[in-house]
Amino acid sequence: MNDINQTESRILVIDDEESLRLTFKTFLAREGYGPVQIVATYEEAIDILNKQTFDLVISDIVLEGASGIDLLRHIKDRGLHCPVVMVTGYPNINSAAEAVRLGAFDYLPKPVKKDNLLRVARLALQQYNLWKEKEKLREEKEGYRRHLETVFRSVRDLIITVDPQMQIVDMNNRAKNVLRLLKSDLAVGDSLNELPSQLGQFFIEDAEEVLRTKNEVSEHRVECMLAGEMSIFRISAAPLETKNGNVLGVVFLARDVSQLEALEKMGKKNHFHRLVGSSRVMQAVYTMIENVGHVDTSVLITGESGTGKELVAEALHGESPRRDMPLVKVDCTAIPETLLESELFGHKRGSFTGADRDRKGRILHADGGTLFLDEIGDISPIMQLRLLRFLQERTFYPVGQDSHIKVDVRVIAATNADLRQKVNDGQFREDLYFRLRVVDIHLPPLRDRDEDLELLVQFFLERFSKRLDKDITGISDQALQILNNYDWPGNVRELEHIMERAAILCNGTTIATEHISDEIIMNYTSRDAAQKTAAPGPSGGLEPVLNDSVEANEHDRIIRTLKMVDGNKAKAARLLGIDRSTLYRKLRLHNIEPTVA
């Protein structure tokens, strides 16, 4: 049986007998229902129903100037769904039938007993609450459907879903355009078996395998004649499953990579908002931001620390219709757990020790704009629940305030944690996870962006050269190769700090190896020599250094190292992994001039 929040059950009582009105109000109020309002006439009832909403209406069937049947008819015409209980001293078949037809919940014959009144009120409110919950779920489902349909239409890849009988359930605009180029007029409801060309045969084979194994089919590439030209499609297929593991069908994702590569050559971006990178993975991130930015839905940004999740949030805000409104950022790990609720939702004066004045929370400051919640995976279960309620209702209660506040805010969240694993481990609410992850954008680590490193290095050099008022114009091949061979566990943020340090230490126009931190240089020397290939240059390039398994001739290793660091003995000793005194002893042993460079 559904619980009733009695203190929020708004009830309207209509009766021309004052004693009956007051008795009903007393019975209901003592039971905990409220607020209970009472009126005497049909006109008063119509007036208040036009201004307020109620969870239950209790009306005498005989009213001054009209009848309870007229009231029922008005409520039905207005599209109101609250239950109506009729009270009458003269029940008859015709009035009962008309009341039922117009949606009356029940009849109460006079004299009305207290127990009967409370029983009918409880049942009516329970039914109404069930209806409201059903409507809420329906609206949420409809909202999700609209969001997904918008994203579905805007994705540039070809998407087709089919049921187990190979009937097409849905497809996006891109798929429809490709089918037209294939001279096919297939539509939703048609069989996938009617899809012409070799591309159709691959779709069918993939669908059969997915339905047979219930597993994804690995991405593969197929050739297809499209508009008279040979195109290459990258295809993958996956099962559409319920939580119980039942397969509802197959979803196909295909991309014309021949066209994609041509487009990339024509329109490749090196920068996008404050993001920097020209690699294929970053181009995909840029495209995702462009597609999702204008769709007013929640986005979850994932990626390791230092990959630029905050910059993606800024870009999403910049691409959205909310761009001229505030972007409010909240680092969930930087605010103590005891203060996070007040920081987000605000508080009233006196609501806790130290609350000496009213304070607006970050959510209210973001009204009309975007709220960015960084490191969302670290919030407590209580805050997870409060945030879930806010995302569901778009309303919240400041700490110490009884009345709610409604806001219009888009929420973007970010985390470096594996939220899916946290959900499985019971550390993060699954319903909140899906609320936040309507669309997700994953940022690749810097070690997977080899094409971007030199571009990022130059970007930071220009920034710090200007900030420090220096004329630094570039970086040496040797220093760049050391950076290229580093794994960057701190990602772009670590590279930024390394380049800032190098710019501070540099007194000339070029960043050299001596300006790179010892930690990165030592990492370079310890890497597998097979991964260190020569970099061509005027002096023959930088060969693999300092590994006994590669070059046994210690004399040549020392010479090469000293040349690499322009004769800097301390740097050479660190690269060789020996003390400076040991290096001087080896110089004497091998008759190497200390001034060699």
Round to whole Å and give the CA distance between 121 and 540: 92
Asked if the model's pLDDT at residue 286 lies above 70, the reply is: yes
Q: Are 405 and 398 in contact (CB under 8 A)?
A: yes
Neighbour count for residue 425 (Cβ, 10 Å):
9
Domain positions in the chain: 6-134, 155-267, 271-444, 447-589
Q: Predicted confidence band at 580 (pLDDT cuts at 50, 70, 90)? A: confident
Q: Which residue has the tokens 């960057």?
A: 488
Question: Ranked by mean pLDDT, which of 130-144, 164-178, 286-300 comes out on top?
Answer: 286-300
Taking the complete model, does pTM exceed 0.75, yes or no? no
Asked if the model's pLDDT at residue 551 lies above 60, the reply is: no
Asked if the model's pLDDT at residue 597 lies above 70, the reply is: no
**Please, what CATH class does the domain formed by 271-444 belong to?**
alpha beta
Asked if the model's pLDDT at residue 2 lies above 50, the reply is: no
- Dump strand ranges (E) for 338-492: 370-374, 395-396, 405-406, 410-415, 439-442, 474-475
pLDDT score at 540:
37
Asked if the model's pLDDT at residue 305 lies above 50, the reply is: yes
Residue 399, phi-psi category: left (phi > 0), alpha (psi -120 to 50), beta (remainder): beta
Fold exhibited by the domain 447-589: Helicase, Ruva Protein; domain 3 (1.10.8)
pLDDT score at 196:
67
Asked if the model's pLDDT at residue 545 lies above 90, the reply is: no
In this prediction, residues 501-506 reach a mean pLDDT of 92
pLDDT score at 358:
75
- Give the least confident one: 127-136, 401-410, 570-579: 570-579
Under DSSP, is residue 408 helix (H, G, I), strand (E, B) or coil? coil
Round to whole Å and give the CA distance between 82 and 76: 10
pLDDT tens profile 360-374: 888 989 999 999 999
Q: Are 546 and 575 in contact (CB under 8 A)?
A: yes
Spell out the residues 6+ positions from residue 114 whose beta carbon is closer than 8 angstroms to its own: 27
Q: Which amino acid is present at 414?
A: A
**Partners of 37 in beta bridges:** 12
Tokens of residue 308, six digits:
């630029």
Domain 6-134 identical in fold to domain 271-444 = yes
pLDDT tens profile 219-269: 788 777 765 667 777 888 888 887 677 888 898 888 776 654 444 444 578
Q: Are 472 and 465 in contact (CB under 8 A)?
A: yes
Asked if the model's pLDDT at residue 110 lies above 50, the reply is: yes
In this prediction, residues 156-179 reach a mean pLDDT of 83
Asked if the model's pLDDT at residue 531 lies above 50, the reply is: no
Q: Predicted confidence band at 143 (pLDDT cuts at 50, 70, 90)? A: low
Under DSSP, is residue 487 helix (H, G, I), strand (E, B) or coil? coil
In this prediction, residues 127-138 reach a mean pLDDT of 84
Residues in the chain: 597
Tokens of residue 297, six digits:
């839905």
Averaged pLDDT of the chain: 81
pLDDT score at 458:
92
pLDDT tens profile 41-98: 888 888 999 888 899 999 888 787 778 888 888 888 888 888 999 887 765 656 666 6
Fold exhibited by the domain 6-134: Rossmann fold (3.40.50)
Q: Are 386 and 328 in contact (CB under 8 A)?
A: no
For the chain, percent of residues with pLDDT exceeding 90: 22
Q: Predicted confidence band at 543 (pLDDT cuts at 50, 70, 90)? A: very low
In this prediction, residues 332-356 reach a mean pLDDT of 77
Strands 158-162 and 247-256: antiparallel
Q: Does an H or E element contain 511, and which?
A: strand 510-511
Asked if the model's pLDDT at residue 435 lies above 60, the reply is: yes
Of 330, 314, 318, nearest to 375 by C-alpha is: 330
Q: Predicted confidence band at 541 (pLDDT cuts at 50, 70, 90)? A: very low
Under DSSP, is residue 87 helix (H, G, I), strand (E, B) or coil? strand
Tokens of residue 252, six digits:
């196909």
| Burial grade of 158 (CB within 10 A; 0-12, 13-18, 19 or more) | buried
Asked if the model's pLDDT at residue 380 lies above 60, the reply is: yes
- How far does CA 313 lie from the centroid of its chain? 10
Q: What kind of architecture, by CATH, is found in domain 155-267?
A: 2-Layer Sandwich (3.30)
Q: Predicted confidence band at 338 (pLDDT cuts at 50, 70, 90)? A: confident
pLDDT score at 266:
47
